[in-house]
Structure 1
Amino acid sequence: MLILASVACGSLGWCGNVLALPAAMLFPALWAMSPSRRVGALVSACYFLAASRGLPQGGANFYAADLWPGLLLWLAASASFVAVHAALWTRHPGRGRAVRYLAAAVLTGLPPFGITGWAHPLTAAGVLFPGWGWWGLLATATGLLVVTTRFWPAAAIALGALWLWSAATWTDVNLPEGWQGVDLEYGQMLGRDASLEYHSDLIATVSKAAGKGTRVVVLPESALGFWTPTVARLWREGLNGIDVMVVAGAAVIDAQGYDNVIVAVGSGAGDILYKERMPVPVSMWQPWLLWTGQGGGAQAHLFANPVVEVGTTRIAPLICYEQLILWPVLQSMLHSPAVIVATGNGWWTEGTSIVAIQKASVTAWAKLFELPVVMAFNT
């Protein structure tokens, strides 16, 4: 029953609906109720695998193969989450169990284990305590600890009441004035077409948005392809005379590999704005290539540039995978941004709810810290 409940908990909490996120907070209670370390490991595995159930299909789409690569990636991604919770499980109830869960929550929220720390229950804080900021995060963490003790029924009732109240009074996140996110439907061709026609079409899209009073247009991850002096000049000239700043995804190649970046470009100006802190492990971030002297793969700029500025506005940029894990968001929030900018290239997620989960996660964090958010995704 605990294993079945953990599957339901992971599936419902991470279905892509932001209001369903608090269901994930039942996981610590199920972990604590496990009668043995083996069952605790199985409960942890079933929760994580259910939460990340779109990964096998996404992996198959990405590698243009059958499900086997995606299945292996799915299982590998769960390893650190399961190992931490299995190692810290204890059969002894009381305060010690809560302390052990706190350690598990911290370890799976921060590198190195937090690099694959999907589905962290703390993400629900924005639904239960919208606008509370760090106090809301602390209250949610306290709730997670209490559900691992004998007081879990009272905690579950209190959290359920907060959940219902939040659902009844929920409002959508705000879009900052003068900003607009543009979703694209280029599939896997986004950023791979370096033709003049491709860039001219994107510039026309931006120009159309600028005509509606928009000052900043956000385009998805990888929208501009490889960021070269030629591409930069093309965009500067294309935006000449248009009072708009474009914030868009691109890639920059160097001798060690490449950086997944966000650039800011406008009439007469264009430069790299942000370098991704945590690219997708395995498919993008492949540190073993650098360790063996081969080079290649996306570089991870861990803990670098948590906030950047567009004009006079301080933004918290989150590219794709960074929206699914805990520490990039919290690091950015420590620097008091005014806007969250979330971009992604989700062509490979066709047939899954991964993009919806990313958007739900970003929405929850925006609600917790009462920040406007701009999103731009390619599908």
Structure 2
Amino acid sequence: MIPVTSGRSPTPAFSVWRGRSSPSIPDCWRPAQLVAGAVAIGWIGWSGHVMTLPLAMLFPALWAWAPNRVTAAAVSMGYFLAASRGLPQGVSAFYAADIWPGLALWIGASCLFAGVHAALWLRQPGWTRALRYLVAAVLMAFPPFGITGWAHPVTAAGVLFPGWGWWGLTAAVAMLLVMTTRAWPVMMIVLAGLWLWSATNPTKPTPSAGWRGVDLSLGRGLGRERSLAYQNMLMALVRERAASGARVVILPESTLGFWTQTLEGLWIKALRDSNVTLLAGAAVLERHGYDNVMVAISGRRANVLYRERMPVPVSMWQPWTTWTAAGGGARAHFFANPVVELAGTRIAPVICYEQLIAWPILQSMWFGAETVVAVGNGWWTHGSSIVDIQKASITAWAQLFALPLVMSFNT
């Protein structure tokens, strides 16, 4: 007897893994399953632990398995919302107000991420779809879309390929692209193997000899205290580190407050009898706003060494105030000063928000940085994992390029 085919679609499980649509009843749950999976990898992958970052590499597969553009948008939204879940609470604390400004920024950035990925989604499997994902990944890594491009899956390159540098970055991008093709099962095995190897052979970037990052717990008061006693306390702290052998001392973002000629003279005098160099966060007032900066101070001179390329959108960087001539926000220097020299070393400075996005650190690596210096003022993130995510992200980048890393945070 010749078997009669019914024309029915493949089983639901088979159709899910092949990324094909199916009219079977269980298949109606596929969008919900994909969104739940995206939320899970966003939540766990970006929990603030370096070794969980490779989970983000699964996002392109979930995006590719979406049966339609609406599901692709929902998958992207779920991943991004989960990865950046601490934002509403953090912005609320920053403004000392209700949660609505934070929710607006959180949802707005998530819609941008989801919109880019939904627009470039393609139903047909193959390398055309992979190339479309590549376009989405590049767009979310560089301005203008990359301004809110945190939780980028390629950050996991530092865990999977420590020390490989640009080759490791290229390999990670290739893995992300293959995840969107029918060859994804092979890439899953490769990912699991590399992840296991990294877990059993951990690497951790360390500071250069004589470089000390100082963590503070001054909360909201950091940089807002204008008294001489506050500055004297910081000076005593720097002298203490210098006495213990530090050659370069790093203090967190905003530590010195507003940078003035009076403050400059005070610090030069304080370090005159010391061989230590201080790198500390401050703010420089300008006509239509201010610059978030890092100031280098020794016993001979002081200068603004670095101006932040990308301050936190909305809470710090407010471009609409420039357009309306109102002023007041922090200025963004997008592609300026990617590498600066301190104590004979080419450093990649990254302040706070810059640690969450891709292009500042990649630009610094392109220009030959030799050490990564990461500072932040995270008092407003209390109760969230934002500072831990910042540290995990910048640690992964330093691991990828096998560079020393010095961190200094205030909480």
Length-normalised TM-score, structure 2: 0.91
The 5-angstrom pairing of residues 258-273 of structure 1 reads 258-273=290-305
Asked whether 1:352 is paired with 2:384, we answer: yes
CA distance in 1 between counterparts of 2:304 and 2:94 reads: 27
The 5-angstrom pairing of residues 1-379 of structure 1 reads 1-379=33-411
CA distance in 2 between counterparts of 1:175 and 1:92 reads: 48
Query: Which consecutive unaligned segments of at least 5 residues does structure 1 have?
Result: none
One-letter code aligned to 1:130: P
CA distance in 2 between counterparts of 1:190 and 1:82 reads: 36
Q: Deviations over 1:40-84 (max 9, x none)?
A: 000000000000000011011111123222111210121221110
What is the deviation of 1:268?
2.2
What is the deviation of 1:171?
2.6
SS of the aligned residue for 2:322 comes to: helix
CA contact (8 A) 2:203 2:399 kept: no
CA distance in 2 between counterparts of 1:258 and 1:223 reads: 15
What is the deviation of 1:373?
0.4
Q: Deviations over 1:75-125 (max 9, x none)?
A: 012122111001001111111110100000000011000000010000000
CA distance in 2 between counterparts of 1:13 and 1:333 reads: 24
Q: Deviations over 1:188-237 (max 9, x none)?
A: 11000111000000000000000111100000000000000011111111
Q: Which stretch of the first structure deviates more once superposed, 266-275 or 73-82? A: 73-82
CA distance in 1 between counterparts of 2:312 and 2:200 reads: 35
What is the deviation of 1:175?
1.2
What is the deviation of 1:371?
0.2
What is the deviation of 1:239?
1.2
One-letter code aligned to 1:96: T
SS of the aligned residue for 1:337 comes to: coil
SS of the aligned residue for 2:35 comes to: helix
CA distance in 2 between counterparts of 1:158 and 1:112 reads: 33
Q: Deviations over 1:218-274 (max 9, x none)?
A: 000000000000111111111120110000000000111100000000112111000
CA distance in 1 between counterparts of 2:250 and 2:83 reads: 29
Is the radius of gyration larger for structure 1 or structure 2? Answer: 2
Length-normalised TM-score, structure 1: 0.99
SS of the aligned residue for 1:109 comes to: coil
CA contact (8 A) 2:162 2:203 kept: no
CA distance in 2 between counterparts of 1:338 and 1:194 reads: 35
What is the deviation of 1:335?
1.1
Q: CA RMSD in A?
A: 0.7
